[in-house]
Structure 1
């Protein structure tokens, strides 16, 4: 899940423009847009972070990355102390 804060998203038209922009880079993406909190949360399997961020920016908005959750299945964690994988 990728989360952007979009401070200049202020109305329903903004939400529509961002929705259109996201669908243009990944028509199958699942996303939630919280206009009140000015957050866009995206789960995409075919578009990467930069493509999604660029799509929002190209629509005229200023997305700032807040969170980027990556799959732990692909992360290698070194053992230390008592951590067990």
Structure 2
């Protein structure tokens, strides 16, 4: 079964748009590899986590920042489709 990504965001912080943008990027890049992306409003203020099948991949509080889209795509790729070429998202600066 294909994995599901969950983006849990703080609605009080107005992070829905950021979560939706990241969901769109992941669905576009991994359209054949994912079951879907779920956006979940958090009851905990300041929370912004991204998980795959309930395993946390990125936690804003732990990292002290939001993920870059390129970084997020690489982390997701490493779990759902390790051999996948991400094109320009794989190139270093």
TM-score tier by shorter-chain length is: 0.3 to 0.5
- Decide which structure has the larger Cα Rg and report it: 1
Q: Scaled by the length of structure 2, what TM-score is found? A: 0.32
* Greater length-normalized contact order (CA 8 Å, ≥ 6 residues apart): 1
